[in-house]
A = this chain, B = another copy of it.
């Protein structure tokens, strides 16, 4: 394995200006962050109270009262601060920074003398670490650490970083294999990957070792959770946990024996992200291979075409290979983000484009389907098929919302989407400092300055992707030493050609990247042509739900049919896989979107009789259908939606 992982380009060195992504990224600064700050301060009329900031004031001794909200309510401000950090990194905003500083001051005041930081346990006085399975203390710690590292990297200010470092120092004293320490680990992974980030930001090796301890100790027999007093006494914070198996929290077997993705999907991919981090840091080839095996299990057997994961609502979890129901699935937005995190880490270690293919699928589809075009409404659950009348009356779909909600009681997904959008450039580019190589993985229009060896390269990528597969890289400045530009060749590309200054480029192809190595000079133009026509896609026939069906894609984007364009009874529609698809840019809908038009047939319900079972075949009529990107569904009111269409075989 490579000795060094790729690194991200610093956020302030990338300026995104992309026709497709701008609308989403702007939402973070303009809508989400201001709204969320009001929300966690309980100032949004009509919204469920958060109590998040109030809890900190109480913990700091500055206000009287009881803790309110979830045990992990602290993470709301942590996630807000993390997104704020990314925003500040890209664009100074003194007022926002002042607000953030004040929040950090409050957090610091709520920290205990010994470094412990958690308002729920501090206020309630419940024994710390008495319920690792459900208490979410380490999960909360993880989000605090991530936020602090991000804030330090964005502003250079150490205060928050010092707070979480003290906390992490305390954790180091409390947890570990040594006698006298607690031999447990978190029910919900998150602190592990956060500790790796903290190690990278501070250089303090024990944080890495603690992360390593948490991961390697997981699932050892006898299982730590089963011995917890609260579990023995069946005193559950979340009574529904009583029925959950250990695989729900990936504690069903020692970590090195886990070869299939099991349990709660968010927990799983957060854990696997940490495992990938550790594989890289410890140069552990075996762990890396295990990560790849888990990743393959997900992406070859347990992932939806839209890049979401988690087939079941109860447990928000993985189920079994090829079990991918389109209507009862949970497929949480956060799980998709976690899958992108895990995949990006694997790419940074291996340089293999297959991981970025999945990142792209996740980001272009389920990340964005989680957020409305107004930035004020969110999906946690991301079905691929909705019939509102059915979903609203069948308890098997109680978790499915037929319209995006304003902001949920458990606010995990909206801020997670926000922090991902705010740091999206971490997925666009990556740098191999030793090899002087810049990786261009996602085709999002942007300008960047990348430090490669002793020089800085300034580059502009102009794209209208995936609407068009024509990309233009322009070298804005370069100092004349050899630098490699590695351009991802997507797995779905139907044709991929590159010209440098008009001449066909010759480059090495490896693991899905085309490597172009030369002395670049200002004005060099690299034009890339990626074939991204609309295409109909089949599902592996082992997936029962999609048998006899096809889906429409363009590049990484999955398309869907909506009632708004096609009327109801969408599931009756049947289409030939070789039907021609025409592209039509519609400026008037969905703030402008590229629609697909194609012919097919559908059942004529005017001719359907009232009998429930009979000898009359339904009558089909020809019709023309309009598909829109899945990520934009449900922005025009409630209605049916379907991704997988029945294939008409001639």
Q: Chain A interface (Cβ within 8 Å of chain B)? A: 299-301, 303, 305, 311-315, 317, 319-321, 323, 325, 328, 387, 389-390, 392-396, 398, 535-544, 547-548, 551, 569, 571-572, 574, 577, 603, 605, 608-618, 646-649
- Complex Cα spacing A574 to B649, Å: 12
Which of the listed residues A315, A535, A537, A542 has the most CB atoms from chain B within 10 Å of its own CB?
A542
Given A540-B611, A612-B303, decide whether A389 and B320 contact each other with a Cβ distance below 8 A: yes
Contact (Cβ within 8 A) B311 A394: yes
Contact (Cβ within 8 A) A299 B548: no
Which of the listed residues A301, A390, A649 has the most CB atoms from chain B within 10 Å of its own CB?
A390
Contact (Cβ within 8 A) B300 A610: yes
Chain B residues in 8 Å Cβ range of A303 = 612
Closest B residue to A300 by CB, please name it. Answer: B612
Contact (Cβ within 8 A) B396 A538: no
- Complex Cα spacing A391 to B278, Å: 36
Contacting residue for A614 out of B537, B542, B572, CB 8 A: B537
Chain A at the B interface: SS class: loop
Contact (Cβ within 8 A) A547 B535: no
Chain B residues in 8 Å Cβ range of A536 = 615
Chain B residues in 8 Å Cβ range of A616 = 538
Give min CB distance, A388 to chain B, whole Å: 10
- Complex Cα spacing A618 to B544, Å: 13
Contacting residue for A387 out of B301, B544, B569, CB 8 A: B544
Contact (Cβ within 8 A) B389 A541: no
- Complex Cα spacing A535 to B616, Å: 11
Closest 7 CB pairs of A and B: A314-B395, A320-B393, A319-B394, A541-B618, A319-B393, A541-B603, A544-B571
Given A300-B612, A541-B572, A541-B603, decide whether A394 and B323 contact each other with a Cβ distance below 8 A: yes
Give min CB distance, A52 to chain B, whole Å: 27
- Complex Cα spacing A300 to B551, Å: 32
A-B contact pairs, 19 of them (CB 8 A): A300-B611, A305-B612, A312-B396, A314-B395, A314-B396, A319-B393, A320-B394, A323-B393, A323-B394, A328-B328, A396-B396, A537-B614, A539-B612, A540-B613, A541-B569, A541-B603, A543-B612, A547-B603, A649-B649
Contacting residue for A396 out of B328, B543, B547, B610, CB 8 A: B328
- Complex Cα spacing A537 to B614, Å: 5
Given A389-B320, A390-B320, A544-B571, decide whether A538 and B618 contact each other with a Cβ distance below 8 A: yes
- Complex Cα spacing A390 to B542, Å: 11
Contact (Cβ within 8 A) B612 A317: no
Chain B residues in 8 Å Cβ range of A540 = 608-614
- Complex Cα spacing A369 to B323, Å: 26
- Complex Cα spacing A577 to B614, Å: 12
- Complex Cα spacing A234 to B614, Å: 47
- Complex Cα spacing A206 to B319, Å: 55
Chain B residues in 8 Å Cβ range of A311 = 394
- Complex Cα spacing A548 to B600, Å: 14
Give min CB distance, A549 to chain B, whole Å: 9
- Complex Cα spacing A551 to B547, Å: 17
Closest B residue to A549 by CB, please name it. Answer: B548
Contact (Cβ within 8 A) B317 A538: no
Chain B residues in 8 Å Cβ range of A537 = 613-615
Which of the listed residues A300, A303, A325 has the most CB atoms from chain B within 10 Å of its own CB?
A325
Give min CB distance, A54 to chain B, whole Å: 27
Which of the listed residues A395, A605, A615 has the most CB atoms from chain B within 10 Å of its own CB?
A395
Contact (Cβ within 8 A) A547 B646: yes
Chain B residues in 8 Å Cβ range of A312 = 394-396
Given A541-B569, A603-B547, decide whether A301 and B396 contact each other with a Cβ distance below 8 A: no
Closest B residue to A239 by CB, please name it. Answer: B239
Contact (Cβ within 8 A) B542 A305: no
- Complex Cα spacing A137 to B44, Å: 48
Give min CB distance, A402 to chain B, whole Å: 13
Contacting residue for A538 out of B299, B313, B392, B613, CB 8 A: B613
Given contacts A305-B613, A313-B396, A548-B574, 14 further A-B contacts (CB under 8 A): A319-B393, A321-B389, A323-B394, A536-B615, A537-B613, A538-B618, A540-B608, A540-B610, A540-B613, A542-B569, A547-B603, A548-B548, A551-B613, A649-B649
Give min CB distance, A482 to chain B, whole Å: 37
Contact (Cβ within 8 A) B313 A395: yes
Chain B residues in 8 Å Cβ range of A313 = 395-396
Contact (Cβ within 8 A) B542 A605: yes
Chain B residues in 8 Å Cβ range of A611 = 300, 540
Contact (Cβ within 8 A) B390 A323: yes
Which of the listed residues A396, A536, A609 has the most CB atoms from chain B within 10 Å of its own CB?
A396
- Complex Cα spacing A253 to B446, Å: 61
Chain B residues in 8 Å Cβ range of A646 = 547-548
Closest B residue to A605 by CB, please name it. Answer: B541
Chain B residues in 8 Å Cβ range of A398 = 314
Give min CB distance, A261 to chain B, whole Å: 12
Chain B residues in 8 Å Cβ range of A577 = 617
Chain B residues in 8 Å Cβ range of A538 = 613-618
Given A396-B313, A577-B617, decide whether A390 and B544 contact each other with a Cβ distance below 8 A: yes
Give min CB distance, A532 to chain B, whole Å: 14
- Complex Cα spacing A313 to B321, Å: 23
Chain B residues in 8 Å Cβ range of A548 = 548, 574, 646
Give min CB distance, A387 to chain B, whole Å: 6
Closest B residue to A617 by CB, please name it. Answer: B538
Contacting residue for A547 out of B300, B572, B609, B612, CB 8 A: B572
Chain B residues in 8 Å Cβ range of A610 = 300, 540
- Complex Cα spacing A547 to B603, Å: 9
Closest B residue to A607 by CB, please name it. Answer: B541
- Complex Cα spacing A551 to B614, Å: 10
Closest B residue to A551 by CB, please name it. Answer: B613
